């Protein structure tokens, strides 16, 4: 589905979702997760918008910590830089917890966040790329993406919401729809508005293990909305022609 995001600019948009029964953790520690990731491909860049949709979060493994993705026909080519998107009215903020369930009233603009996400080669999707907040140890894993709340941080122990360094998170909520980045590519990578995202995966929490990873589903498929709209337009056109013909005969 090709969309014009600004005058003279064409881009292709792909939206992926967790499935309806997605969860992370095991046994009594299992928790529901829900998230959406939108990729917008353009000339020498890909925009990635991440929204954590899960409410009632009480464990770190319900926060989004990494996005892996594969561009169709492109293997082993990583972005050259990553930056938070600017000028986006739907962009979220950096936040901390003041106690087990309350976010600080003081929010931080993402341009001031000290430890933004970084680029890596994907170890999960062969030939793909990864952006993420996991930097080697639990204490270094911050800027995880929260959902809209409410929250239950439940103390400072391992696995709880206050466990990461400085308790810093990135917030998405009904009033701040996503956390958005712009990934830049060399011209030789051949990333443009015709590029297609073939697959995507999210990691939740602090480690890259199967119980904290979710493969995403693309809904709807590219072009299906346009096709549906085209079908509606065709139906309306046919109906209009029939009414016009009857009026001329009358």
What pLDDT is attached to residue 1?
Answer: 40
Residue 164 is predicted with a pLDDT of 53
H or E stretch including 102?
none
Return per-residue pLDDT of the chain as tens, 250 residues: 444 444 445 789 999 999 989 999 999 889 999 999 999 999 999 999 999 999 888 888 999 999 999 999 998 899 999 999 988 999 998 888 776 667 777 788 887 776 678 998 888 999 999 999 886 555 456 788 998 877 776 554 455 665 554 567 899 988 889 999 999 999 999 999 999 999 999 999 888 889 999 999 996 444 434 433 444 443 344 344 444 444 444 5
Full 3-state SS string of 144-200: EEECCCCECCCCCCCCCCCCCHHHCEEECECCECEEEEEEECCHHHCCCCCCCEEEE
Estimate to the nearest angstrom the gap between the alpha carbon of 238 and the chain centroid.
39
User: Among positive and negative, which fits the CA dihedral 52, 18, 65, 3?
Assistant: negative
Domain boundaries, the chain: 2-219, 223-250
**DSSP E strand stretches across the chain:** 2-6, 9-17, 23-24, 31-32, 35-42, 45-52, 64-71, 81-84, 93-95, 118-121, 129-132, 144-146, 169-171, 179-184, 197-204, 213-215, 217-218
Say which DSSP state 236 is in: H
Determine the longest span between alpha carbons in the chain, in angstroms: 80
Q: What is the pLDDT of residue 62?
A: 92
- Region of 150 on the Ramachandran plot (φ > 0 left; ψ -120 to 50 alpha; else beta): beta
pTM > 0.85: yes or no: no
Q: Is the CA virtual torsion 216, 121, 184, 198 positive or negative? A: negative
């Amino acid at each position: 589905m090709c969309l014009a995001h600004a005058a003279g600019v064409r881009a292709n948009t792909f939206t992926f979702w967790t499935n309806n029964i997605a969860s992370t953790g095991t046994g009594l520690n299992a928790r529901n997760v829900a998230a959406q990731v939108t990729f917008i491909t353009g000339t020498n860049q890909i925009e990635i918008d991440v929204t954590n949709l899960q409410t009632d979060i009480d464990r770190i493994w319900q926060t989004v910590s990494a996005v892996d993705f594969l561009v169709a026909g492109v293997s082993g080519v990583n972005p050259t830089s990553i930056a938070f998107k600017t000028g986006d009215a739907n962009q979220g903020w950096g936040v901390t917890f003041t106690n087990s369930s309350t976010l600080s009233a003081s929010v931080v603009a993402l341009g001031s966040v000290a430890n933004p996400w970084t680029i890596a080669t994907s170890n999960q999707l062969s030939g793909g790329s990864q952006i993420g907040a996991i930097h080697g140890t639990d204490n270094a894993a911050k800027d995880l993406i929260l959902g809209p709340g409410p929250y239950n941080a439940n103390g400072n122990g391992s696995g709880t919401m206050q466990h990461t360094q400085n308790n810093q998170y990135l917030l998405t909520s009904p009033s701040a729809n996503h956390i958005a980045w712009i990934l830049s590519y060399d011209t030789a990578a051949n990333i443009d508005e015709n590029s297609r995202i073939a697959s995507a995966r999210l990691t939740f929490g602090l480690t890259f293990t199967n119980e904290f990873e979710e493969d995403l589903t693309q809904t709807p498929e590219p072009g299906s909305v346009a096709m549906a709209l085209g079908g509606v337009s065709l139906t309306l056109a046919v109906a209009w022609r029939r009414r016009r013909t009857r009026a001329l005969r009358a």
